Chains A and B, each alone.
Chain A
Amino acid sequence: MAKMLTDVKNEFKTRPLDSWSRAGELRTQLYKNMCEAREKGKLLVAGGTAIPYELMAGLGDFEVLAGETYGGMVATDDSLALECFEALEAEGHGREGCGYYRLMLGSMFLGRGPWGDFPRPDLVVQLNACDSQGKSGQVVAEHFDVPLFCFDVPLTTFMEPATRDQYVDYFASQYHDFVDWVQRVTGRTYDDERLIAAINNTTRSHYLWARICILNQAVPAPLDERALFTLFTPLLLNRDRPEVVAFYEGLLDEVQDRVNNGISALGVEKYRLLHEGQPPWFNLGLFRYPARYGAVFVGSVYTFCIGQSPYVVGPEGNWEPKKPPAEQGITLRTREEALRFLAEWNTDAQFFKRILHVPGKLETVFRAVREWHAQGVVIHLNRGCPGYNEGNMELRMALQKEGIPCMTYEASMTDRRDFTEAPVMDAIDTFMESL
C-alpha cells in the first residue's frame, strides 16, 4: 500500500530543466507572432492544432490561431474563461462541444482574449476527426465571413495494405484540393520549395518529440507529464519553423543528458503513472499531487502522440520514432512527392486514431503501460472533450481485467464549473493508497 511520504526524501537526483525558460520565451514569441500576423502582412489562419498547416507554407508567411492552444490559454485565466463561456452561451450555444473551441468561440464573440483583441483570421482551415472541430470552423468562418476549408480525417486504426493506400490517396487528393483552393481564395501564388521545407521541418519536429517521449521510458523518468504539457506547445503552434526544430534539438540533447546522468523529473519515483486525456489546464498542480506518495506521471498517449507524432513498431516489437524524409534518405523534390509523403505520414501517425477510435486507443494505452513501465493509469473523464472520452470506460474495464490499477476522475480541461477539487484529490488519495 502506498504511504504518503511525510518526509519525502529524494531517491534520485533532480534539477530544473534548462530548456524550460527557452520553452516559455518561444511560446510567448509564437503567440505574439500570431497576434501580430495581420499587421505584419502575414496570413492568419484559424483552425486547429492538427490541421496540416504545412500546406499553407507555399503561400508565404502565415501564422496559426489554433482552437486547442488558444482555448487552453484562456482556460488558465478563470475570469476571462467565464466571460468567454458566457459570451458563447449568450449566442445560443450549449455546453456540449469541445471545451477548447467553446473558449475560442466565446473569446471571438467577446471580441477579446488573453492578448487583447481577438485576432481576425484571413481564412479558416479545419479538419473533422472529432465532431467539434469541423463544426466550430463553420462558426468562425461565418462570424468573420472568411473562406473555410475542412479536411476529412477517416478514423481507422488497423488497416490492410489496400485500405492504407485508399487512405493515403484520400489524404493526398484533399491536400492537392487544398493547395488549389488556397491559391484561389488568397490570390497568392504557391511556392513548392517552401512547402517542401515546411514538411521537412514538421516531420522533423514530430520525430524529435517522439524521441524525447521515448527517452522518458528511462527509470527514473527525466520529465514528468506536467512538463510535457508545457513543452509540447511549440510543436502544436509552429512545428514547421526552423526555430521550433532547433528548440526540440536542444531539448532532446538535454533530456538525453538527464537520462545519461540519472536526473529525474521530481526526485521521487516509487510509482510511475500514466495519465489519459487532456489536463484540467486551470489546475496543472494536480499532476504533482501524487508526488507526495512518491509517484510521478511519466506521460500519456495524449502527450506522446500529440500532433502527428509518428511511431513505428521496431524489430523488438517496441515503438520507435518514424523518421522524417532526410533520415530515411528521401529527398522530396516535387509538390506531388511532398504531398504524398505527408499523406503517408498522416495516415500512419494519426493522433486521432489513437484517441478517438477505441481499438487504437486500447492498443496504444496498453503499449504505453508496457513501454513506459507504468504501474497505474489515471483516466480523465473530460466533460470538455466529447472526443477523448471515446473508449475511456472500455479502457478502464480492459485495464482492470489485466490487473493494471486504474482510476477515473471527472473534470473538464477548460471549464472550472465542471471541476470540484476535493473529490478528485480524495479519489487520487484512495487510488494511491490502494497501490
Chain B
Amino acid sequence: MSFALCLLCILLIPLATAGLALMHQGLGRSRSAAHAMVATLCVLAVTSLVFVLFGISVAGSSGSSSYSLVLGGSSWDWIGAGHLADRGIFFQGPDGGLALCFEMFVVAMAGIIPVSTGSDRWRLLTICIASALLAGIAFPLFAHWVWSGGWLAKLGLNFGIGTGFIDAGGSGTIHVLGGLTALSLAWIIGPRRGKYTGDGFPTAIPGHNIVLVLFGCLLALIGWIGLNSAGSMLFYNAAPDAIPRILLNTMLCTSAACLATVVTTRIRYGKPDASLIANGWVSGLVASSAGCAVISPGAAVLIGLVAGAAVMYLVEFLELKLNIDDPGGAISVHAGAGVWGLLAAGIFSSTSGQLLAQIVGIAALLGFMLPLIHGLNLLVNLFVKQRVDADGDRQGMDVRELGAGAYPEFVVHGDEFLPR
C-alpha cells in the first residue's frame, strides 16, 4: 500500500462531511440553519474525541488483540481489546495510524447523518450525547466486525461464505449505521410542528437554500472518491493501480443515480425536483461505496440507476405511509441506498456465496445494531428529552438554542409571491 496516496485520500474525506453538512443545512428551514451547522461542528468534535479516546479500543485494528468466542467449533471475533486513548495504535506501523485517522473522519460522517433527520427540533445537548454513544459504542463495534478482522470480515475464511462481508467505502459501516440512527431518532422525536395536518396528511416544507444543497453534492463527490479509495487500500489491500477503477465506479454510479432521479421526478411531478436530485446524487455515492473495488463499471451504472430511481419512492413511502418526517431524506439516502449498495456488491461479485455474506452483514446491522442504537436513544430520551419543547418548536432552533438567527437581515415579503 502506498502510504502517501492513502494519506492523500484520507485527507479528502472531510470534504464529504462538509458536503453533507451543507446539504443538511440547505434542506432545513432558515430559522434553524445556524443550529444545523453548529450541530455539525459539535458532532465532529464529540465523535473525534470519543472515538480516539474510547472507541478505538473497541474497534481495534487488523491484527490487534481482540476478544473471541468459540461457537460451533470456530472462533468468533466480537470486540477489540485495544488500549484506551489510542495507546499502542501508532506502534503497529503506519497502517494503524492511517486506519485511526480514516475511522476518526468517517465516524464524524456517520454522526452527522441523523442531524439532517432531526432538523428543526433535535436539541444540541442530546445531539452531542447521541453522537458520543454512536462514536463510542455502535460504530466501533460494527467497524471491528467489518474492518478489523472481526467475525463478518472472516465469514469467508472461517465458514467458506464468499470472501467475507465486503464494505470498502462504508455503505454499511458508515451510512446504514448513520441511517438507522436517523430512523431511531425520527421515531423518538416525531415530526416537525406543521408537517402533518390534523388528519395525518403531510404538507411540503421546502428547504431554504437549494444552491447550498447542490454545491454540497459536488463537495461530497470529491470526498467520496477519497473515502472509497482509502477504504479499499486500508482494509482490502487495493493496489495504487486499482484507484482509477474505484474512481471510475464511484463517478459512474453517482452519474447514473443522478440521471435516474432526474427522469423519475420528471415523470412523477412533471418537472425535475432539485432537492430529490441532490438526494439521488448522494444515494449513488452511498451505493457505490460497498463494492467500488470489486465491481465492473457496467455494474456500477446499474447499481446507480436502481439507487437513484428508488430514492424518490422511498422518501414518499416514509413520509406518506409511515409518518416519518425526514427533512433531508437521510434515512432513504443513507440507510436505503446503503443496504442496496451492500446487496449489489454481492449480486455483482464474481465470487460464489458473496451475496450470502452481504445478507449476513445486513442481518447483523438490522438485528444487532438497530436494537442497540434504538435502546441507547430511548435511554437518553428517558433522562434528557431529545425533542425541543413546544416554544422551541414555534421559535425555531436558532433563536431557541443559539439566541440569534442565521440570517438576521433576511425579511420575507409576502406580496412577492402574489400573482401580478
Q: Do A and B come from one complex?
A: no
Which residues of A line the B interface, CB within 8 A?
none
